[in-house]
Amino acid sequence: MKKALLTTFILLLGTTIHAQTGWGINLKAYAPKATFNQNVDKVPFGISFNYLKNYDDSRFSWGGELGVAMYSNDSYNIMHRGNQIRIEEEDCFFTLHGFVRYDIVEKSAFKLYSEARMGVTTFFSTTDAVLENTGFDGEFDFHGTAFNLGAGLGLMVNPGALFSKDRQRGDLWINMGINGHSGSRATYRMHPEGDGVFSLEDGKHESLTHYFGYRLGVVFGI
């Protein structure tokens, strides 16, 4: 998960530098739906980074969001080269979405917006030793990618305008929102229940991958 977070941040940092837009960071929670929910019975949590481009004379804006979330993890001991070492195993997914927003209501201190988005969700699993220098080669296995279409609502609040006497906007916004995503069929993994050591080929499922995404974050520089 740490490697995935670092990769996500580096990729989005490069995007925001070239795009010269505002950027943000969000805490994310997800609610799988239908068959996806039956196979993934835990709440995925993660983090995302986004950029946003506003236009002064328009209610429309556009941007992108890149994130990573984990929905299953386990740790166990194995014998490796005559030593007992502890292994951590995680099931996760990347998300990459472009979006278009429309400000339904805009005041100095807040914006209520609707959003349409399109992108992908890519599922993967990892294993790695808890302690370094054990000689254990971790695994990283991609499973499948789902195509997503989504829509939702959000609220951005500007603390500077909210609490200042002159209602002057600051560069920081608090961003809250919910999006529903329809997901195409994809292969993903959920760590099997029970004791024992499983491979990354165990516990795989395939289904439609619908989910709701909830975010709470901050946006700078718009």
Residue 54 to residue 52: CA distance in whole angstroms: 7
Cα–Cα distances (Å) from 71 to 67, 87, 109, 151, 186, in that order, read: 13, 17, 35, 23, 16
The enclosing H or E element of 143 equals: strand 139-157
Residue 104 CB coordination number (10 Å): 12
Residue 119 to residue 117: CA distance in whole angstroms: 7
Query: Are 28 and 47 a contacting pair, CB within 8 Å?
Result: yes
Token pair of 173 as six digits? 């916004």
State the average pLDDT over residues 158-167. Answer: 86
What is the average pLDDT score of the chain? Answer: 88
pTM above 0.75, yes or no: yes
Query: Are 76 and 40 a contacting pair, CB within 8 Å?
Result: no
51 burial via Cβ count (<10 Å: 0-12, 13-18, 19+): buried
The confidence score (pLDDT) of residue 150 equals: 97
- Of all residues in the chain, the percent with pLDDT exceeding 90 is 64
* CA–CA–CA angle 188, 24, 149 (5° rounding): 40
pLDDT in tens, 93-118: 999 999 999 999 999 899 999 999 99
Residue 5 to residue 118: CA distance in whole angstroms: 22
Cα–Cα distances (Å) from 103 to 52, 56, 91, 115, 152, in that order, read: 13, 12, 36, 9, 12
The confidence score (pLDDT) of residue 199 equals: 80
The confidence score (pLDDT) of residue 109 equals: 92
DSSP secondary structure string for all residues of 66-103: EEEEEEEEEEEEEEETTEEEEEEEEEEEEEEEEEEEEE
